[in-house]
Chain A
Amino acid sequence: MTRAHLAPRGAALTATAALVLAGCGGDDGDDGGGPKPRLVVSAAASMTEPLTACSRDYLGATVRLSFAGSDELAAQIEQGVKPDVYAAANTKLPDRLHEEGKLGRPVEFATNTLVLAVPKDSPIASVDDLTKSGTKIAVGSESVPIGSYTRETLARLPPGEETAILANVRSNEPDVKGIVGKLTQGAADAGFVYVTDVNATDGELKAIALPSRLEPKVTYAAGVVSGAEQPAEARTYVDGLVHGPCADALESAGFGPAP
């Protein structure tokens, strides 16, 4: 995939990004004028539930969360958008931003498990069942971590099986929420998501564990965005993903501890 083109180019575009940011900050007055600083956190969509829960009563700052595919959030930062914290569903994107000087040193704070997710009454019992023609599969788009983990996993299957499964893919979703939505709405028969996404559906979906030889290593990493408005608070928030209420929330959502 082409990566080299990602450096921000063109003053006009940076100006547009700045306009967008200015627009986001426009409702400061609504915060009641409290003394708490405002912390903007861009986080992978797979952390929506736990981070929303632990950030509601976050001490020290009013936390604004922005959830999307890790790749899109990274692209926003590369285009000049500056949240305070960036938390991704892999280590590759934070490492890349760090190399580009756009993110402080990334901290690995949690792990997750890739699973095969199916509606609760589905007859599908294993990855092998996905080769049957007519099975509708939703996966993450190649650019988003869930999509690259999925392709990494499928590449470990015998070539014929991998091809048959990829031929059944009907949607390349921009983030995990899209995959889960397609499954809960019955549009797709199976999908690859994180075990935490299945837990969050309250039994609507069931997770089928992958054989350990197929399982990819899913490590989450976060960092303080260079030029963040609240660097100190951002640092505290990132540390809190390793130890603290947010780390606890991640753990109870089914995330594994930092490796």
Chain B
Amino acid sequence: MSPARSAWFPVVLALALAVALTFLTLPVVAIFVDSSPRQLIDSLGERGALDALWLSARTTAIALAIILVVGTPAAYLLATRSFRGKALVVTLIELPLVLPPAVAGIALLAAVGPEGILGGAIDAAGIQLSLATAGVVVALTFVASPFYVRQAMAAFASVDRTLLDASRTLGVSEARGLLRVMIPSAMPGLAAGTALAVGRSLGEFGATLMFAGSFQGITQTVPLAIYDRFATDFDSALALSAVLVAVSGAILLAVKLVQGSEALGGVAR
């Protein structure tokens, strides 16, 4: 390759990065430029904003617990065994990743809504999902879990199998092997998956609104509160948006700092 020919390509790459970076960060920067720190703090002191933040934190924490407890063994199974139809199973699990939020909302209503196929059974069990906090948790779990399961699968698959085999020959059960060997070895990937699931869960909007509704302190999470304020109280909407940006950014950054470049690779995979 002649020097003359190779000179332009790095410029194109740099230009592409500059365009991408500007486009992706300008709206985020605008959130902070458009509001003063004073306004931010005042708006966040408002009762409804606090309720929304607290509700988002609670529902995300519960959804995450469910995702970790169910998703980790499921991802382990998919990463360590092959069986007929595995590709189909993985595709089905990943499907919510690419579903538009409105489709997720409709799908949840059709499945577990009051008129849905399981609606009668859920009602008979005395559980109320729609217009209730439990419904928010269901919506968050539905949209966020594929982010974790996918990442966890990749993380488990990349663990050196001789580690697990060695522990097996030492008479360690598979369950203990998962807890003592696989999970610690896969930790960077699992942490990255957790961060993505938390980020997606905090940002969930459409499915929550359609399935769970919007009510302060019960179902109105931060994104719904932002939408509710957009028309009447733009400052407050900006303040809540700023909090979401800061929290999501902090989660992503923390994972990258703690795990180093390994997690970076994990996110990109």
- A interface residues with partner B (beta carbon < 8 Å): 1-3, 5-6, 9-10, 12-13, 15-16, 69, 71-72, 74-75, 136, 138, 141-144, 169-174, 178, 181-182, 185-188
What are 25 A-B contacts with C-beta separation under 8 Å?
A1-B232, A5-B233, A9-B34, A10-B34, A12-B30, A12-B34, A13-B30, A16-B30, A71-B231, A72-B230, A75-B234, A138-B131, A138-B213, A143-B228, A144-B231, A171-B219, A172-B220, A172-B228, A174-B227, A181-B210, A182-B130, A185-B114, A186-B114, A188-B131, A188-B213
Chain B residues positioned under 8 Å from A69 (CB to CB): 231
Q: B232 touching A187 by the CB < 8 A rule? A: no
Within 8 A of A (CB), among B116-163: 119, 130-131
Tell me whether A16 and B213 are in contact in the complex, defined as CB-CB below 8 angstroms, given that A2-B232, A71-B231, A74-B231 are known contacts. Answer: no
Chain A residues positioned under 8 Å from B227 (CB to CB): 174
Q: Output the least CB separation between B42 and chain A (Å).
A: 11
Q: Output the least CB separation between A4 and chain B (Å).
A: 10
Chain A residues positioned under 8 Å from B220 (CB to CB): 172
Query: Does B29 have its Cβ within 8 Å of any Cβ on chain A?
Result: yes
Q: B218 touching A170 by the CB < 8 A rule? A: yes
Tell me whether A186 and B228 are in contact in the complex, defined as CB-CB below 8 angstroms, given that A2-B233, A141-B214, A171-B219 are known contacts. Answer: no
Q: A187 touching B131 by the CB < 8 A rule? A: yes
Q: Output the least CB separation between B242 and chain A (Å).
A: 13
Chain A residues positioned under 8 Å from B30 (CB to CB): 10, 12-13, 15-16
Q: Which residue of A lies closest to B27 (CB)?
A: A16
Tell me whether A174 and B234 are in contact in the complex, defined as CB-CB below 8 angstroms, given that A16-B27, A141-B214, A143-B228 are known contacts. Answer: no
Q: Output the least CB separation between A134 and chain B (Å).
A: 11
Q: Which residue of B lies closest to A2 (CB)?
A: B233
Selected contact of B215 from candidates A142, A171, A186, CB within 8 Å: A171
Q: B214 touching A171 by the CB < 8 A rule? A: yes
Q: Pick from B29, B209, B214, B229 the residue with the most CB of A within 10 Å.
A: B214
Q: Output the least CB separation between B238 and chain A (Å).
A: 9
Q: A174 touching B218 by the CB < 8 A rule? A: no
Selected contact of A136 from candidates B109, B131, B210, CB within 8 Å: B131
Tell me whether A143 and B232 are in contact in the complex, defined as CB-CB below 8 angstroms, given that A185-B115, A187-B130 are known contacts. Answer: yes
Q: How far is the CA of A142 from the CA of B225 in the complex (A)?
A: 12
Q: How far is the CA of A48 from the CA of B234 in the complex (A)?
A: 26
